[in-house]
Each structure stands twice: as C-alpha cells, then as structure tokens.
Amino acid sequence: MSDPTTVDAAQLFEFIGGADLAVVLISVHPIHAFSPTLSQQLSRNHKGIALGIVDLRELIFTNGAALRFIHQGLQACGAPTFLGVLPGYCLFRRGEMLAWDTGLPTFADIEAIARSALLGAIWSGVSRDAAFIGQALRVAAEQVAAYRVAVRFRYAASEVRAEREAAGPSRPRPVDELFWAYQMLGVLPTATDQEVHQAWRRRRMEHHPDAVAGNPEEFARRSQISADINRARDIIVNYRATYTRGSYAKAS
C-alpha cells in the first residue's frame, strides 16, 4: 500500500507531476488526516499512485501559484469554489486535476451508515457498552465515504479522461485559460520558458494537419487542435510577460 506523505507547498507541482496518478488531501488541521480506508482502496485500484497531504494554510501563506492552480482546477472540475480553495481530496493525472471530493459522508450515505449504527446498537445491548454505537458510526462513516471517493476517482481516471480525449479540445472559460493552457501543452506551471517552447513544438509536430492532407475531416480536426496549441502557448507567454516580468526566449 502507498502511504500518504506530507507534501511541502513549494513542492506541490513536482509531487503531482512526478506520478501518473496522484491524490492530494488539502488538509485544514493536523487531525484532518488521509483516510486509511481510502488510502488502501486507492492503492488497490491504481498501481503506483502517489498519495500526499498538503496544509491549506501553508498553501495560502507561502505558495500563491499553487493555490491559484488548485483553484482553477477545482473550477474546471465543477467544484463549489465561491469560498476559494476547499479542503478535500484532489485527483491529478500528470498535473491535471481530474476530480475533487470532500471525503465526508453525504445524505446518500445515511442509509448505509444507519445500518452500521443499528449493528452497533445490537452489540451495545449485548455487551452493555454504549461506546459500540459511536464506534460503529465513525467506522461506517469513514468506510462509506472512502468507498464513494474511490469509485468516483476510479471513474474520473478512466471514463472521464477517455471522454475528454474523444471530445477533443474545447474553448475554456476566461478564468480557466491559464490552467487550460498548461494542460494543452502538457507541462506544469513550473516549466521554464524553454520547456514551454519545446512542448509547443512537440505538440505541433504530433498534430500537424499536413500529415493527413488527404483526409479532409482529420485535416480539419488537426487544424483546430493546432490552433488551440498555438493559443495555449500565447496565453502562457503573455501571462509570464505581464505578471512575472519574465522573458520568453525563442529557440531557433
């Protein structure tokens, strides 16, 4: 089983980009720990998955870039972000956020938890120890929530990813543009200007429309992808020139 590790906020990009799949718990307190049950299920479902915990307070006070990146990822996943970055479990594939979940029981879990509470009540009556009820509730709540998150993340890592690739590139909302641009080029926000340029050239070669000039439908599809690849590079270059005062050194 892959044991969750504490991730320094400054190393978040390296952590989520260093494995094919990674799940990070954004924690609000030391007692807000990674669920052992969820850790076991994720490790069983995904060989080599990286599991980590990052402190939300550390993200807020020491790594604004990572905080903005996660906020954009949550928006792309449809998470409620009106309060900012929310605590919970985030699923990443090579730096792209695929899904998020609080990891807490929901109303849909009440029936399963109630059954466990009933079992605890029975044992409590037999043993005359009321603690069995509370223990049964805690265990049931963790197991039910962990199972739901594991299933959701397994789906997101397979079906949702396949659907996105089949659908092809799409126009992002303005607030998601920078996040989308890094995804389109397949690089993390920590990539150097040279690495961004190399990724752009590589993606252009992979999807160049001239390679399928005899197939009008495929030519049109690749032309759209190429346009999106160029736009992604421009978004990153313009952002860095405006907000980081960095220079973009074009390679010859």
Q: Collapse the DSSP code of 22 into the 3-class scheme (helix H, G, I; strand E, B; otherwise coil) and give the result.
A: strand
Lowest mean pLDDT among 20-29, 96-105, 162-171, 208-217: 162-171
Per-residue pLDDT of 175-216, as tens digits, reads: 457 767 877 887 777 778 898 999 899 988 988 888 888 888
Q: What pLDDT band is residue 245 in, cutting at 50, 70 and 90?
A: very low
Q: How far apart are CA 33 and CA 203, in angstroms?
A: 39
Torsion over CA of 65, 63, 16 and 5, rounded to 10 degrees?
-170
Q: Collapse the DSSP code of 194 into the 3-class scheme (helix H, G, I; strand E, B; otherwise coil) and give the result.
A: helix
Q: How far apart are CA 191 and CA 195, in angstroms?
A: 6
Q: What pLDDT band is residue 174 in, cutting at 50, 70 and 90?
A: very low
Q: What pLDDT band is residue 173 in, cutting at 50, 70 and 90?
A: very low
Q: Is the pLDDT of residue 59 over 60?
A: yes
User: What is the architecture, at CATH level 2, of domain 5-103?
Assistant: 3-Layer(aba) Sandwich (3.40)
Once rounded to an integer, what is the mean pLDDT over residues 25-45? 92
Per-residue pLDDT of 220-242, as tens digits, reads: 888 888 888 998 899 888 888 87
- pLDDT of amino acid 22: 93
- pLDDT of amino acid 100: 92
Q: What pLDDT band is residue 56 in, cutting at 50, 70 and 90?
A: very high
**E-state strands within the chain:** 5-6, 21-27, 50-55, 88-93, 96-101
For the chain, give the mean pLDDT. 79
What dotted CATH number matches 174-244? 1.10.287
Domains 5-103 and 174-244 share a fold: no
Domain boundaries, the chain: 5-103, 174-244
Q: How far apart are CA 98 and CA 245, in angstroms?
A: 31
- pLDDT of amino acid 147: 87
Q: How far apart are CA 231 and CA 174, in angstroms?
A: 13
